[in-house]
Chain A
Amino acid sequence: MSSGADPVITARGVDLTFPTADGPVHALKGVDLTINRGDFVSFIGPSGCGKTTFLRTIAALETPTGGSLTVNGMPADEARKARAYGYVFQAPGLYPWRTISGNISLPLEIMGFSKADRAERIARVLDLVDLAGFGGKFPWQLSGGMQQRASIARALAFDADILLMDEPFGALDEIVRDRLNEALLELWRKTQKTIGFVTHSIPEAVYLSTRIVVMSPRPGRITKVIESTLPAERPLEIRDTPEFIALSHEVREGLREGHSYD
Chain B
Amino acid sequence: MTRALPVLTVLAAIILIWYLAAIGMNAQWAEDQAARAGTELTTGQLIADTLSQDRPVLPAPHQVAAGLWDGVFGQAITSKRSLVYHAMVTLSATMAGFAIGSLAGILLAVGIVHDRTMDQSVMPWAVASQTVPILAIAPMVIVVLASIGVTGLLPKAVISAWLSFFPVLVGMVAGLRQPDAMQLDLMRSWNASRSQSFWRLRLPSSMPYLFASLKVAVAAALVGTIVGELPAGATSGLGARLLSGSYYGQTVQIWSALFMAAALAAGLVVLIGLIERITLKRMGLAR
Contact = CB atoms under 8 A, between A and B. Distances in A.
Interface in A33-68: 59, 61
A106 B200 contact: yes
A87 B186 contact: yes
B78 interface: no
Contacts of B190: 83, 106-107, 110-111, 158
Contacts of B192: 110
Contacts, number: 48
A95 B202 CA distance: 11
Nearest to A91: B182
Contacts of A99: 284
B55 interface: no
A110 B196 contact: yes
B121 interface: no
Contacts of A158: 190
A81 B191 contact: yes
Contacts of B204: 95, 97
A96 interface: yes
Interface in B19-50: none
B189 interface: yes
Interface in B172-200: 182-183, 185-192, 196, 200
B287 interface: yes
Contacts of B16: none
A140 interface: yes
A93 B285 contact: no
Given A61-B189, A110-B196, A138 B182 contact: no
A197 interface: no
A55 to B, nearest CB: 11
Interface in B222-250: none
A155 to B, nearest CB: 9
B284 A93 contact: no
B202 to A, nearest CB: 12
Interface residues of A, number: 24
B283 interface: yes
Contact of A61 (B188, B201, B284): B188
B200 A109 contact: yes
Nearest to B193: A110
Contacts of A96: 284-285
Nearest to B192: A110
Given A80-B191, A110-B196, A87 B185 contact: yes
A110 B97 CA distance: 36
Contacts of B196: 110
Nearest to B196: A110
Interface string B244-287: 00000000000000000000000000000000000000011101
A93 B182 contact: yes
Contacts of A89: 182, 185-186
A59 B284 contact: no
Interface string A87-113: 101010101111100000011011100
Contacts of B183: 93
Contact of A87 (B189, B207, B283): B189
A85 interface: yes
A97 B200 contact: no
Contacts of A83: 190-191
Contacts of B189: 59, 61, 80, 85-87
A84 to B, nearest CB: 10
A163 B207 CA distance: 32
A6 B11 CA distance: 79
Q: Which of B188, B201, B207 has the most chain A CB atoms closer than 10 A to its own CB?
A: B188
A127 B284 CA distance: 24
B209 to A, nearest CB: 14
Contacts of A87: 185-186, 189
A243 B286 CA distance: 52
Contacts of B284: 96-99, 138
A81 B192 CA distance: 9
A61 B190 CA distance: 11
B286 to A, nearest CB: 10
Q: Which of B189, B207, B283, B285 has the most chain A CB atoms closer than 10 A to its own CB?
A: B189
A85 B204 CA distance: 26
20 contacts: A61-B185, A80-B188, A83-B190, A83-B191, A86-B189, A87-B189, A89-B182, A89-B185, A89-B186, A93-B182, A95-B201, A96-B284, A98-B284, A99-B284, A106-B190, A107-B190, A110-B191, A110-B200, A111-B191, A140-B287
Given A61-B185, A93-B182, A110-B190, 8 more contacts: A95-B204, A97-B285, A98-B284, A99-B284, A109-B200, A110-B191, A110-B200, A111-B190
